[in-house]
Structure 1
Amino acid sequence: MELRSVEELMDLLYACRGARASAGHGGGPADPYGHALRTAALLRRRRPADKELQVAGLVAVVGRLLWPGGPAGRTADAMRPLLGPRVAHLLHGYARPDAPSRDDDLLGLRQADEEARTAVFDAGVLEDWRTVLELLAARNSRLGAVD
């Protein structure tokens, strides 16, 4: 499965509302939708200029719901055509939490993910992220056309 539009991605993220991670699935958050918004919001606070990192935090939850227990990196492969190689790289590393990392961005993503499990604050709504997703998709589309 490859995502080809921001609308498809938004639909998947909206589908996370009200979903519950299965109890046996690797310690996933109980509220994937809220967790995704909190992770992205934490990354926005810490790295306001790094939209790709923020979006990686937002979309990482999709894989847990679509492919529970599936191969690591499947979310990365699905997001690459739409959001580009850097987001895919971050998602691939995120999918392998046991792998050691010297990548500061990946460490930041994992820290925000962990903090978002217990943080309590208003992280906004998914629609707040539509413009950022559209900008990344448009930039990736232009870069892909140049390659």
Structure 2
Amino acid sequence: MAQFKSRWPTRKVDMICCRTATAYSREDRRMELRTVEELMDLLYACRGTRDVTGHDQAPVDAHDHALRTAALLRRGRPADKELQVAGLVRPVGRLLWPGEPASRADRAADAIRALLGERVAGLVRLHPRLGLPADDDLLTLRAADEEARTACFDAGVLEDWRTVLELLAARNSRFGMVD
């Protein structure tokens, strides 16, 4: 079996090349993921990063946690692909902006909006904001996120989600944006 080699560094992403030859640096504070391949590379790069949300919680591998969260959402709401994908792509913000926890969710939502749509971006943006009123979808996402921290089951591999990501990207993209 061939070893996967990501185009992105494991801990720090300085640039993401968009559809054109233009690259947006971290200083620009504006990144857009344009292809499912770019998103998959970032999700693969989450392997080995530790995710801690509270002081009393043990750190978990962000990649495995995202897969478990998406799998739990798939079991609970099999028809709601956008909700499942929101659980899957949530750790992208930690990888893109490792030192900025306050605005990480906003920037992750901005990065995925063009590719995955407004609903997925909205769920990613509101997920960490516990003080705001939440609808049923956001409560379901938060519950699956918490359950995935302690659940021990085989959630599959990231490649299992490629088709779902491609379908959402095709549905939410402007003409010519998705390869």
Q: Is residue 134 of structure 2 the alignment partner of residue 112 of structure 1? A: no
Pairing 1:1-147 to 2, within 5 Å after superposition: 1-21=31-51, 26-27=53-54, 29-68=59-98, 69-71=101-103, 72-101=105-134, 103-141=135-173, 144=174
Equivalents in 2 of 1:109, 1:131: separation in Å?
21
Q: Structure 1 residues 95 and 74, CA, compared in 2 at 3 Å: closer, same or farther?
A: farther
Structure 2: segments with no counterpart, 5+ residues: 1-30
Preserved CA contact (<8 Å) 1:75 1:92: yes
Counterpart code for 1:20: R
Range that drifts further, 70-79 or 42-51: 70-79
Deviations 1:54-99 (A, max 9, x none): 0000000111232231414111111100000110111111132332
Question: Hey, which of these two has a bigger chunk of helix by percent?
Answer: 1
Counterpart code for 2:124: L
* Deviant stretches of 4+, over 4 Å: none
Range that drifts further, 110-119 or 70-79: 70-79
**Aligned pairs, number:** 139
Question: Hey, which of these two has a bigger chunk of strand by percent?
Answer: 2
Larger of the two Rg values belongs to structure: 2
Equivalents in 2 of 1:110, 1:132: separation in Å?
21
Equivalents in 2 of 1:97, 1:61: separation in Å?
17
- Backbone CA RMSD of aligned residues: 1.5
**Which structure carries more relative contact order (alpha carbon 8 Å, separation 6+)?**
1
Equivalents in 2 of 1:84, 1:120: separation in Å?
31
> Could you tell me the TM-score, scaled by structure 2's length?
0.73
Equivalents in 2 of 1:98, 1:67: separation in Å?
23
